[in-house]
Structure 1
Amino acid sequence: MQELFNKRNRVILLELVKTDFKLRYQGSFLGILWSVLKPLLLFLVMYLVFVKFLKFTDGTKTYPIVLLLGIALWGFFTEATSVGMNAIVSRGDLLRKINFPKYIIIISSMSSALISLSINLIVVLIFGLISGVDFTWKVLLAPFSIIQLFILAMGVSLILSTLYVKFRDISHIWDVILQICFYSIPIIYPLSLVSNFHPGVAKVMMLNPIAQSIQDVRYSLIAPQTTPTTWSTVNNIWISLIPIVLTVVVVIIGVVYFRKSSKTFAENM
């Protein structure tokens, strides 16, 4: 993707990012505030149902902030892959008029989700300060895990956007897969709950690159003393590398498949 560093392509990417972010809240009374309100409202519902009613908690004072952070990160992944999947089809008219690398459309669509995540992370940090979270130097590690999550989302988006050009039913299938993933990784419940039930299940669960990256961000940003990660759960350095390897594999497959199919996008749309 070295073409991205071309000045003309950088200008196109920047303009697409601006346009996508403006159109996202066009006609909305609260506008950009929805970037903050949406995860906060979802957090409130999840907190009342799963923490207060069903007692899903790890017993620490930081768990509500950990829950909020997990919802924000999951929201980013779902939004990035969903808009990425629709990006090529929604920009079909632009593809026919201007000749530029088509993956720029995917990156620009995902960038709006990344901007929303940045806003949400500021909110999480503010709540963390109010709640008395003891931030450590490990917060410097959080961006690396967020980058991994972005790269994974990009690989998935490249695959989905290519499939969506030919098969529009893929959007419904992806919605179902996202629901399955949401409940199969520790976002609304602590990993300790699964470990107490069956340690083997918890280890397999943490080999999911989405779960691994979200837990790593929680560990680095909020609660390094109480947040289990793939590294601490699996206790085997080579097996612990599986989520990172899977991320790389997904991106490679996405890039190869996208580049191979991009030449016929205009014909199929």
Structure 2
Amino acid sequence: MKALVKRIQERYHYAWVVLKGLVKTDFKLRYQGSMLGIAWSVLQPLMLFCVMYVVFAKFLRMSDGTPTYPVVLLMGISSWQFYNEATSIGLRSIVDRGDLLRKIHFPNYIVVASATIGSLISLGINFLVVFVFALFNHVHFTWRVLLLPLNFIELYILALGTALLLATMYVYFRDVSHIWDVLSQVLFYSIPVIYPLSMVIDNTSLGSWGPKIAKVQLMNPIAQTVQDIRHNFIAPETQPTIWTLTSNPFLRVIPLVLAAALLVLGVYVFRRNNRKFAEVM
């Protein structure tokens, strides 16, 4: 057993050193030259939250009817901001690091992984802000907060799988960047990030279709993950998830299967094409 562990350490030691170096470099360069620096990783989602809260909660009256809705909205925006940032930066990571890949030999996937880990660090900082915000809003935490690491792991798997796919396609087709900008906007409004899922479930104009549409929305693993984070961290009673909307075990596991399938597909496509990257670029 010790020999096996030693072989694994020797095999991946160099990759781990390169990964740590790239993560540090990327995170420093991200805010280089700006007066506020790393503070932007907190200010950006906070400013977006303020705009969304005023427009949707105050003017359009979108709310789940609970005092914790501002925290729910902020948590949703922070989670989406991570996914959007990780995929957008990961998409360009191979092309942006083309010169480095041609000069130094190391596993190409490290470049994509470092881009997504940098976004994960920003998510961690944002989560601390949301936690402080939750304390001021008197959120009553339950034992479900222990499930949050699993939720964040799933969210990272989704971001990494998507980034690997997009990074591979972007090497060959630069139009992928523009297509993804449009698709990400469609995805953003198709899942309950800025509006509560209860607005779909209780919508009288939809009739009996409301709960069915909500279930379909939660088949999307991103929507399922965002709702699970809100449910486990903030308000188990008012934040429905796929686990509470249906007792069908098949429907419950669909988002998890899709998340795992996305990562497997991303790894497969990336490994199949990564040896050609230097030639194409």
**Which residue of structure 2 aligns with residue 250 of structure 1?**
262
Match of 1:135 in 2: 141
CA distance in structure 1 between the partners assigned to 2:186 and 2:55 by the alignment = 19
Residue aligning to 1:9 = 15
1:150 aligns to what?
Answer: 156
- In the alignment, structure 1 segments of 5+ residues that lack a partner are none
Of 27, 35, 56, which aligns to 2:33?
Answer: 27
Following superposition, the deviation at residue 247 of structure 1 comes to 0.7
State TM-score, norm by structure 1.
0.97
Q: Is 1:232–2:238 an aligned residue pair? A: no
Q: Which residue of 1 aligns with 2:234?
A: 222
- Residue type at the aligned position of 1:234: T
Alpha-carbon offset, residue 3 of structure 1:
8.6
* Pair 1:199-2:205 in alignment: no
> After superposition, what is the alpha-carbon deviation per residue over 1:193-251, rounded to whole angstroms, capped at 9, x for unaligned?
01123221111001000000010011111111211011112331211110000011111
- CA–CA distance in structure 2, aligned partners of residues 56 and 186 of structure 1: 11
CA contact (8 A) 1:4 1:10 kept: no
| Backbone CA RMSD of aligned residues | 1.2
2:78 to 72, 88, 105: 72
Q: Aligned in 2, Cα 1:240/1:4: closer, same or farther, shift over 3 Å?
A: farther
Matched, 1:48 2:54: yes
Q: Secondary structure at the match of 1:28?
A: coil
Question: What are structure 2's unaligned runs of at least 5 residues?
Answer: 1-7, 204-209
Q: Give the match for residue 111 of structure 1.
A: 117
* CA–CA distance in structure 1, aligned partners of residues 244 and 28 of structure 2: 42
Larger gyration radius, structure 1 or structure 2: 2
Report the counterpart of residue 169 of structure 2 in structure 1: 163
Q: Distance in 2 between matches of 1:239 and 1:230?
A: 8
- Confirm or deny that 1:123 pairs with 2:135: no
TM (norm. structure 2) is: 0.93
Letter paired with 1:24: R
Q: For the Cα contact (< 8 Å) 1:3–1:9, is it kept in 2?
A: no
Supply the distance in 2 between the matched residues of 1:105 and 1:234 (Cα, whole angstroms).
Answer: 40
CA distance in 2, matches of 1:42, 1:26: 22
Alpha-carbon distance in 2 for matches of 1:136, 1:200:
28
Among 42, 61, 70, the alignment partner of 1:36 is 42
Paired with 1:38 and 1:123, the residues of 2 have a C-alpha distance of 12
